[in-house]
């Protein structure tokens, strides 16, 4: 948590944050302006990303959502950056634990105009404002306890998270304050106006207008300071002193704000500055000052609804950053990443998979060949989106496809689908289409949950920064997950078919891929697990250390090997094999997620708790499924014998 | 022959695999509360352990031994038919190698670490978990040190280091202990000022344990008993009957390296504008003998290897503007065995399952024909 600057400073500064009333703004911005803004490269969390991604990450962090009431994250971020006052009624602060609101002495419910039900999870700044001092106290105490490695309660953790979000929100709202009119500032003294080279009819003044002119007053201020009694200062001296003090306070409060938009050093080490710092501390770097001014004028154009100017200025700032960072690959790729966000290939793939799933289900139930063939169409489109999405991620990160949990679900979903399509290619009975589209769809939905964790294209830490091992061990072990998982799906289907008394030929059509895919899964799970040992040996000198992640992978290998041997030994038959593959799915989940959940408290607790519930819910579902299936199949067998 | 069949039985394989699955799951859950070391000790390094502290159950070492014998036996019983199943043969050869490699590493492997600040050099590595008791004949510029491993000491064990006439008998030894401060009595010396030691439960991280040892000393002119503790700041001074002085102390076990390594520079790189580590690396000079030396960079995922010894960039610390680089040091002459085993087994698995699928397809074609 970066809560180092007291919130009070920002509360006191809030008049500076006030921009135009939203009603004064012109119509919604056109797509070109939003796109140009979204393409702006910024440095955040160790990497250069487009402002569009920055906006998405922050809105997600504040509210747990990717958009705000139909408005894209970028549009909402633009309002926060350029007209922060206009966002104070937005319900963007997610509070998972209402007890925190009690501590803040704020109502647990917020009745919003035009809504029937009051909001109980998301609140606006206006609602939280009376409790902000209490929130700050609570968060500071929690932070101190955290630094002393004391265990924090849920409310304390929530207080730290919400406080950090409020602080970030306020700081983002200040980023372009230097380009907004300074409230209450009207210079009428002709002497000062002359010194500042301003005419009497100059409009509302901003820091950007005055920043480099205020130096002209230095002689007058020095003369005033030489007079012991301020009562004897002239009107002009008083105005000059007040203006300089105001500018100083302003610059103190607005330094080091979070939006690192402008690279400071050309072609050198990556130091990026917030526009105000670039304007204020750039000495003789005229290009940088020009870029900071462009950024300020961009903010003014947005407030004025001058969309052509917005586009022009945004392009000018982008060109400056990319010119300076022409050796940084990510800076050049920022527009591509923004386009990738807009296209949302995985969202589109989900639609395709859903259609394919429904059509293949229809084909399975009815045996209709036309439905089966029709299922291929949305499936092919979804597959292209899915593969394309992964390919773009690989290109953007210059890393193999799997570098985090989010990536594993995209990749395993794809491998499962390809394996299922292989089965479909042999059998042509819609079974592969059905199983593949179902898994791909499910895994893309789960991936969405992990996207809420934050930046899915983040930098990998030093110990993982090896493309060789990421592309061998990780790919092999996740391919192993895919094989065992898809075998488990066929196991489920086999049990259902057996219960429904499907003909033996049908059961065989399910059993064969089930056993074959389990072998595929075992081969890759073993290879991946052992390659993990080789990586561990290369990295810290021991092949095997029984740590949870290693053990998770080993569980899959041991279990699948056990059921294979049991089958060969005649200890189990087809039904036992199907049950074994279903349990194999549980083993995969244990290895994949379970071992991560052993370290509860390391991650955002709200997210982890939700995932924990999902994880145990899944295991409970599988065990219930197995119990119900086995009982029903047994009853059916007895019934048949009696008949 | 009957027993041999049981040993070679595939049912034995199934039971072993299932029990290993249970142990792996149980041991992993156990780690969450008790730490990796305790779990490893109880489930994975043991032949028998007490389940729920009541039932004696087979540990992973026993199960893997049975599995190893089972694999070997099945090799002779089941695969005499020839090379109809080459994949299966390769799988089992690879697994036998893997188990052998693990056993070999357990017997011969060594893990320690070396911590260096910039400009400092060493030819000794310290174990993380093993301790030794030593006698030195000089405190500074040590000329000769003789040591005995703490693991070898039990209550009543007697030991001596040299011909100085000093003999020791263990009165108490604890893996993890705390000292009770106070007057220790005449003829008893404790560098930390303890009058007695109390055992403590082992810690989750074994390297945090501080062992304690109380020994009776024979042949020293100045004392009869010494209390040593893992966190002692100074040794116990002993006067031999000949009037010489020896120093008795306890410390983490040292391993002598076949080279002298010196840290020239440590660098830590973060991703710009963040605290995310991008790279850690140390530039060291390796001195081999008096005249041979070379500069080497050790970084994450790129260790330095020499004559069976490997140095890894493990961690770092910054104290008072001085950078301390910590290297993990291992010696494992069998480290390549698992590499070969992995390759052979994976190849075998791929061959076997492809063969199975082809057989299934042929069978189906025959049926449909």
Would you list the DSSP string of A456-524? TTPPPPGGG--HHHIIIIIHHHHHHHHHHHHHHHHHHHHHHHHHTT--HHHHHHHHHHHHHHHHHHHHH
Q: Does residue A572 contact residue B11 with C-beta atoms inside 8 Å?
A: no
Neighbour tally for A610: CB within 10 Å: 15
Regarding whether B245 and B278 lie in a shared domain, the answer is no
Query: Taking the model in full, what pTM does it have?
Result: 0.85
Which residue on chain A is closest to B44 by alpha carbon?
A: A546
Regarding whether B300 and B155 lie in a shared domain, the answer is no
pLDDT, one tens digit per residue, over A480-500 is 999 999 999 999 999 999 999
List the one residue out of B212, B216, B211, B213 whose CA is nearest residue B238: B216
Q: B138 — phi, psi (to 5°)?
A: -155, 140
Q: Do B276 and A459 touch (CB under 8 A)?
A: yes
- A269, A541, A552 member nearest B312 (Cβ): A541
Regarding whether A125 and A171 lie in a shared domain, the answer is yes
Please indicate, yes or no, if residue A33 is contained in any of the structural domains.
no
Q: How close A615 comes to chain B (CA, Å)?
A: 16
- A270, A555, A561 member nearest B272 (Cβ): A270
Regarding whether A641 and A513 lie in a shared domain, the answer is yes
Q: Residues B228, B234, B239, B244: what is their CA dihedral angle, to the nearest 10 degrees?
A: 140
List the one residue out of B188, B283, B260 whose CA is nearest residue B227: B188
List the one residue out of A377, A395, A481, A452 whose CA is nearest residue A610: A452
Q: Does residue A237 contact residue A223 with C-beta atoms inside 8 Å?
A: yes
Query: For residue A39, what are its two tokens?
Result: 């393409």
Regarding whether A604 and A510 lie in a shared domain, the answer is yes
Question: Which of A289, A304, A328 lies at the terminal end of a domain, its last residue?
Answer: A328
What does the pLDDT read at residue A104? Answer: 92
pLDDT, one tens digit per residue, over A304-339 is 999 999 999 999 999 999 888 888 888 889 999 999
pLDDT, one tens digit per residue, over A369-413 is 999 999 999 999 999 999 999 999 999 999 999 988 899 999 999
Regarding whether B318 and B276 lie in a shared domain, the answer is yes
What is the rounded CA–CA span in Å between residue B359 and residue B365?
10
Question: Which of B254, B276, B307 lies at the terminal end of a domain, its last residue?
Answer: B254
pLDDT, one tens digit per residue, over B260-276 is 999 999 998 888 888 88
Please indicate, yes or no, if residue A488 is contained in any of the structural domains.
no
Report how far apart, in Å, the C-alpha atoms of B321 and of each of A23, A144, B117, B118, B318 are.
Answer: 55, 25, 11, 11, 6
- Report helix, strand or coil for B333: coil
Please indicate, yes or no, if residue A2 is contained in any of the structural domains.
no
What is the rounded CA–CA span in Å between residue A635 and residue B83?
45
Q: Do B14 and A566 touch (CB under 8 A)?
A: yes
Regarding whether A15 and A139 lie in a shared domain, the answer is yes
Q: Is pLDDT at A416 greater than 50 in this prediction? A: yes
Regarding whether A381 and A253 lie in a shared domain, the answer is no
Query: For residue B159, what are its two tokens?
Result: 């030991």
- Report helix, strand or coil for A526: helix
Exposed/middle/buried for residue A398 (C-beta within 10 Å: 0-12, 13-18, 19+) = exposed
**Per-residue DSSP letter, A592:** I
Regarding whether A593 and A450 lie in a shared domain, the answer is no
Regarding whether A291 and A148 lie in a shared domain, the answer is no
Regarding whether B145 and B177 lie in a shared domain, the answer is yes
Please indicate, yes or no, if residue A467 is contained in any of the structural domains.
no
Annotate A109-154 with DSSP letters as a single string: -BPPTT-SSPBSSEE-HHHHGGGHHHHHHHHHHHHHHHHTTPPPPH
Regarding whether A550 and A527 lie in a shared domain, the answer is yes
Q: Do B339 and A469 touch (CB under 8 A)?
A: no
pLDDT, one tens digit per residue, over A231-260 is 888 888 888 888 888 888 888 888 889 999
Interface test with B, best of A149, A535, A561, A589 (most B CBs within 10 A): A561
Domain that holds residue A74: 7-28+49-175
Please indicate, yes or no, if residue A118 is contained in any of the structural domains.
yes
Q: Is pLDDT at B193 greater than 60 in this prediction? A: yes
Regarding whether B32 and B57 lie in a shared domain, the answer is yes
Question: Which of A175, A206, A235 lies at the terminal end of a domain, its last residue?
Answer: A175
Exposed/middle/buried for residue A416 (C-beta within 10 Å: 0-12, 13-18, 19+) = buried
Question: Which of B189, B220, B254 lies at the terminal end of a domain, its last residue?
Answer: B254
Residue B58's DSSP bridge partners are B48
- In chain B, the number of structural domains is 3
- Which residues, at least 6 apart from B321, have a Cβ–Cβ distance to it below 8 Å? none
Q: Is pLDDT at A559 greater than 70 in this prediction? A: yes
Q: Is B206 on the interface with A (CB under 8 A)?
A: no
Please indicate, yes or no, if residue A483 is contained in any of the structural domains.
no
What is the rounded CA–CA span in Å between residue A216 and residue A196?
6
C-alpha angle A95-A96-A102 in degrees, rounded to nearest 5 = 65
Regarding whether A627 and A587 lie in a shared domain, the answer is yes
pLDDT, one tens digit per residue, over A97-148 is 889 999 999 888 887 777 778 888 899 999 999 999 999 999 999 999 988 8
Regarding whether A309 and A374 lie in a shared domain, the answer is no
Which residue on chain B is closest to A468 by alpha carbon?
A: B301
C-alpha angle A309-A253-A288 in degrees, rounded to nearest 5 = 45
Domain that holds residue B100: 2-108+335-368
Regarding whether B103 and B114 lie in a shared domain, the answer is no
Regarding whether B145 and B27 lie in a shared domain, the answer is no
- Which residues, at least 6 apart from A253, have a Cβ–Cβ distance to it below 8 Å? A9, A10, A13, A16, A174
Q: Do A461 and B274 touch (CB under 8 A)?
A: no
What is the rounded CA–CA span in Å between residue A256 and residue A271?
12
Q: Could you give the ipTM of this predicted complex?
A: 0.83
User: What is the DSSP pairing of strand B292-299 with strand B277-288?
Assistant: antiparallel
Which residue on chain B is closest to A553 by alpha carbon?
A: B24
Question: Which of A328, A363, A379 lies at the terminal end of a domain, its last residue?
Answer: A328
Regarding whether A167 and A18 lie in a shared domain, the answer is yes
Regarding whether A142 and A198 lie in a shared domain, the answer is no
What is the rounded CA–CA span in Å between residue B41 and residue B53?
14
Regarding whether B361 and B275 lie in a shared domain, the answer is no
What does the pLDDT read at residue A603? Answer: 34
Q: Which stretches within A254-344 are classed as H helix?
A: 275-280, 286-304, 307-324, 329-343
Please indicate, yes or no, if residue A184 is contained in any of the structural domains.
no
Please indicate, yes or no, if residue A470 is contained in any of the structural domains.
no
Q: Do B279 and A462 touch (CB under 8 A)?
A: yes
Q: Does residue A192 contact residue A119 with C-beta atoms inside 8 Å?
A: no
- In chain A, the number of structural domains is 4
List the one residue out of A359, A361, A384 whose CA is nearest residue A373: A359
What is the rounded CA–CA span in Å between residue A396 and residue A634?
53
């Amino acid at each position: 948590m970066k809560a180092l600057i007291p919130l009070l400073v920002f509360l006191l500064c809030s008049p500076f944050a006030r921009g135009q009333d939203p009603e004064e703004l012109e119509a919604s911005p056109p797509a070109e302006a939003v796109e140009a803004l979204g393409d702006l490269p910024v440095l955040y969390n160790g990497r250069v990303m487009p402002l569009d991604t920055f906006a998405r990450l922050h809105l997600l962090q504040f509210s747990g959502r990717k958009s705000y009431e139909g408005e894209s994250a970028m549009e909402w971020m633009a309002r926060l950056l350029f007209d922060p006052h206009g966002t104070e009624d937005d319900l963007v602060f997610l509070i998972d634990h209402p007890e925190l609101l009690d501590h803040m002495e704020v109502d647990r419910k917020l009745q919003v105009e035009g809504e029937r039900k009051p909001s109980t999870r998301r609140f606006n700044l206006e609602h939280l404002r009376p409790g902000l001092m209490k929130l700050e106290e609570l968060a500071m105490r929690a932070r101190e306890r955290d630094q002393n490695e004391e265990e924090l309660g849920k409310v304390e953790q929530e207080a730290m998270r919400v406080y950090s979000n409020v602080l970030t929100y306020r700081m983002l709202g200040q980023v372009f304050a230097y380009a907004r009119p300074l409230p209450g500032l009207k210079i009428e003294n002709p002497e000062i106006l002359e010194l500042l080279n301003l005419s009497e009819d100059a409009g509302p003044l901003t820091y950007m207008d005055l920043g480099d002119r205020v130096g002209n007053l230095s002689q007058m201020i020095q003369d005033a300071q030489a007079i012991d009694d301020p009562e004897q200062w002239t009107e002009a001296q008083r105005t000059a002193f007040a203006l300089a003090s105001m500018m100083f306070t302003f610059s103190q409060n607005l330094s080091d704000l979070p939006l690192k938009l402008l690279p400071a050093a050309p072609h050198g080490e990556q130091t990026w500055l917030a526009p105000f710092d670039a304007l204020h501390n750039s000495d003789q770097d005229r290009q940088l000052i020009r870029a900071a001014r462009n950024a300020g004028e961009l903010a003014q154009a947005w407030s004025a609804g001058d969309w052509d100017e917005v586009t022009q200025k945004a392009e000018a700032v982008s060109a400056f950053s990319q010119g300076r960072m022409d050796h940084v690959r990510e800076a050049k790729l920022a527009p591509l990443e923004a386009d990738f966000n807009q296209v949302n290939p995985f969202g589109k793939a989900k639609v395709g998979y859903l259609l394919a799933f429904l059509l293949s289900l229809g084909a399975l139930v009815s045996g209709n060949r036309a439905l089966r063939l029709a299922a291929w169409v949305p499936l092919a489109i979804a597959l292209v989106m899915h593969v394309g999405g992964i390919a773009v991620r690989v290109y953007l990160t210059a890393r193999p496809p799997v570098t985090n949990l989010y990536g594993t679900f995209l990749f395993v979903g794809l491998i499962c689908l390809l394996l299922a399509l292989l089965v479909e290619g042999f059998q042509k009975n819609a079974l592969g289409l059905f199983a593949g589209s179902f898994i791909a769809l499910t895994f893309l939905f789960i991936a969405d949950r992990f996207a809420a964790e934050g930046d899915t294209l983040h930098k990998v830490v030093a110990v993982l920064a090896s493309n060789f091992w990421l592309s061998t061990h990780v790919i092999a072990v996740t391919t192993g997950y895919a094989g065992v998982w898809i075998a488990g799906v066929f196991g489920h289907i086999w049990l259902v078919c057996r219960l429904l008394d499907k003909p033996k030929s049908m059961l065989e059509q399910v059993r064969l891929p089930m056993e074959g895919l389990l072998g595929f899964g075992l081969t890759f799970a073993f290879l991946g697990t052992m390659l993990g040992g080789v990586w561990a040996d290369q990295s810290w000198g021991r092949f095997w250390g029984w740590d949870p992640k290693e053990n998770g992978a080993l569980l899959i290998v041991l279990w699948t090997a056990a059921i294979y041997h049991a089958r060969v030994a005649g200890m189990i038959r087809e039904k036992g094999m199907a049950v074994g593959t279903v349990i194999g799915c549980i083993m995969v989940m244990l290895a994949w997620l379970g071992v991560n959940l052993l370290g509860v408290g390391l991650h955002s607790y709200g997210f982890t708790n939700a995932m924990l519930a999902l994880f145990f819910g899944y295991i409970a579902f599988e065990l219930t499924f197995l119990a119900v299936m086995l009982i029903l199949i047994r009853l059916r067998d007895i019934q048949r014998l009696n008949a | 022959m009957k027993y041999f069949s049981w040993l070679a039985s595939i049912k034995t394989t199934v039971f072993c695999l299932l029990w290993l699955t249970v142990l792996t799951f149980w041991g992993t859950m156990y780690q969450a509360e008790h730490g990796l070391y305790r779990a490893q000790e109880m489930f994975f390094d043991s032949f028998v352990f007490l389940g729920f502290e009541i039932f004696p159950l087979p540990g992973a070492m026993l199960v893997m031994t049975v599995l190893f014998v089972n694999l070997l036996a099945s090799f002779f019983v089941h695969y005499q038919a020839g090379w109809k199943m080459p994949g299966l043969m390769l799988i089992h050869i690879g697994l036998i190698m893997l188990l052998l490699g693990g056993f070999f590493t357990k017997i011969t492997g060594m893990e320690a670490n070396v911590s260096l600040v910039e400009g400092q050099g060493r030819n000794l590595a310290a174990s993380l978990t093993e301790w030794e008791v030593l006698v030195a004949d000089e405190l500074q510029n040590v000329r000769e040190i003789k040591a005995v491993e703490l693991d070898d000491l039990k209550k009543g064990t007697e030991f001596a280091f040299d011909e100085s006439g000093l003999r020791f008998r263990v009165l108490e030894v604890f893996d993890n202990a705390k000292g009770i401060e106070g007057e220790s009595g005449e003829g008893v010396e404790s560098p930390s000022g303890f009058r007695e030691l109390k055992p403590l439960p082992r810690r989750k991280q074994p390297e945090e344990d501080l062992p304690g040892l109380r020994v009776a000393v024979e042949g020293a002119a100045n004392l009869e008993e010494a209390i040593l503790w893992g966190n002692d700041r100074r040794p116990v001074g002993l006067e031999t009957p000949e009037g010489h002085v020896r120093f008795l102390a306890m410390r983490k076990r040292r391993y002598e390296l076949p080279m002298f390594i010196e840290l020239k520079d440590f660098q830590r790189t973060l991703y710009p504008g963040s605290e995310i580590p991008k790279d850690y690396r140390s530039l060291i000079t390796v001195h081999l003998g008096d005249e041979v030396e070379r500069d080497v960079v050790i970084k994450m995922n790129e260790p330095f290897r020499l004559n069976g010894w490997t140095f890894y960039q493990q961690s770092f610390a910054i104290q008072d503007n001085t950078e301390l680089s910590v290297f993990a040091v291992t010696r494992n002459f069998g480290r390549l065995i698992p590499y070969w085993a992995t390759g052979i087994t994976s190849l075998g698995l791929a061959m076997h399952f492809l063969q199975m699928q082809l057989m299934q397809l042929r069978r189906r074609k025959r049926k449909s024909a």
